[in-house]
Amino acid sequence: MRTRVAIIGSGPAGLLVGSILTRAGIDNVIIERRSRDYVLGRIRAGVLEDATVQLLLSLGAGTRMMREGLPHHGFAIQFNGEALRINIDALTNGRSVMVYGQTEVTRDLMDLRADSGAETVFEAENVTLHDFDRGRPYVTWQKDGFARRIECDFVAGCDGYHGVSRASVPAAAIRTFERAYPFGWLGVLADVPPCDPELIYAAHSRGFALCSMRSARRSRYYIQCAADEDVNHWSDQQFWDELRRRLDAKAAANVVMGPSIEKSVAPLRSFVAEPLRFGKLFLAGDAAHIVPPTGAKGLNLAARDAQQLANAIVEFYLQRSTRGIDTYSQSALERIWKVERFSWAMTTMLHRFEHFSPFEQRMQEAEFRQLQTSEAARRVLAESYVGVE
């Protein structure tokens, strides 16, 4: 087999690279380790920046999102029971975000791909990258007991944090920057109406809590937990009780409890790999970087990377220019580090850190007071939340 671009991974990054290339008439194949149902069963992000919304619309994958997604014009920060609304609309000249689940984005992009006839290999075992640093790359894997091989011009490494792409790069060629936070998020999805029409990010002495949603009838809640928390130690009732303790009285009273339909623990991490290009291999999305979810940025960063990388590859084939692929790594990293800073700052302001001294706790409170009293500070936050270019 041969294709122009082999894309490793069928998450949002891989699917977006694939659909931009397919739209430009550039042949590509996605090679995914899991089954389609497994990929569609993962519950992850919920908030799309307006640039991500525009990208999905421009690709023809936005119809259901425009029908079912919830535009949000503000969100709340609570700090030990005091509430502050961040009016995104007023602070960013009318911009907004869209609440629409990553699961749905993935499904819409998979449907678009199926309609286009572009190929995806699911359940590919032992995916291995070869010769990407010398001229003629190829990718091998096993499927149904048979060895497979595809030759390509470029490899797009879109296989997430635990993928094979970044791991294939020789250690001397890559530098990584990392912070693992000493806690995780315990998330619950439940078919109950959200406690508030807007998202609530709550800092509390017992730990952080987040009230989010997927629709007017489906809520997504998170509470800060131990990094190695065992979900089986949490009954639904224990989760609801702990969530309500961390919210102000009004939000707590409005929480509608119900059976969880998903419950999982996610670790929190900041991570960046540099550079993002190794000969003919390019990293994009979680394969290249991780942000803690407090800023709602991971999926949006992955979408920006995918867009930038795919456009660079289109430019290579259609305009015979290497400008885009030559500048991808540096210009994407500049953007990525700004989002890393925002996600780290939100995480640091809102979580309970066991090892924080009284001084550091006062710093967290001062951050909140600054937001309360300074419109300029709120504007900076709102701009980062809707997305910096």
**Cα→Cα distances 167→90, 143, 159, 174, 357, Å:** 44, 21, 11, 10, 37
Residue 297 annotated as catalytic? yes
The partner in contact with residue 32, picked from ligand PHB, ligand RFL, none with C-beta cut-offs of 5 to 8 angstroms by kind, is ligand RFL
Binding-site ranges for ligand RFL (CB under 6 A): 8-14, 31-34, 39, 44-47, 102, 124, 127, 158-160, 162-164, 185, 187, 266, 285-286, 293, 296-300, 302
Residue 355 annotated as catalytic? no
Q: What whole-number distance in Å separates Cα of residue 358 and Cα of residue 251?
A: 28
The partner in contact with residue 166, picked from ligand RFL, ligand PHB, none with C-beta cut-offs of 5 to 8 angstroms by kind, is none
The partner in contact with residue 92, picked from ligand RFL, ligand PHB, none with C-beta cut-offs of 5 to 8 angstroms by kind, is none
Q: For the chain, where are the alpha helices, taking DSSP H only?
A: 12-23, 36-41, 50-58, 63-68, 88-91, 102-116, 164-167, 236-245, 249-254, 298-319, 323-350, 358-373, 375-386
Provide, rounded to whole angstroms, the least separation between the CB of residue 16 and ligand PHB.
Answer: 19
Query: Which value, in Å, is the radius of gyration of the alpha carbons in the chain?
Result: 21
Of 204, 289, 297, 351, which one is the catalytic site residue? Answer: 297
Residue 143 annotated as catalytic? no
Query: What sign has the CA pseudo-torsion 218, 224, 228, 229?
Result: negative
Q: What whole-number distance in Å separates Cα of residue 54 and Cα of residue 62?
A: 8
Q: Which positions ≥6 away from 103 have C-beta within 8 Å?
A: 40, 41, 42, 43, 44
Closest to ligand PHB by CB, 46 or 62? 46
Six-digit token string for 161: 């944090």
Residue 263 annotated as catalytic? no
Six-digit token string for 228: 């190695």
Provide, rounded to whole angstroms, the least separation between the CB of residue 107 and ligand RFL.
Answer: 13
Provide, rounded to whole angstroms, the least separation between the CB of residue 39 and ligand RFL.
Answer: 5
The partner in contact with residue 286, picked from ligand RFL, ligand PHB, none with C-beta cut-offs of 5 to 8 angstroms by kind, is ligand RFL
Provide, rounded to whole angstroms, the least separation between the CB of residue 353 and ligand RFL.
Answer: 19
Of 201, 221, 222, 328, which one is the catalytic site residue? Answer: 201
Residue 193 annotated as catalytic? no
Catalytic residues: 72, 201, 293, 297, 385
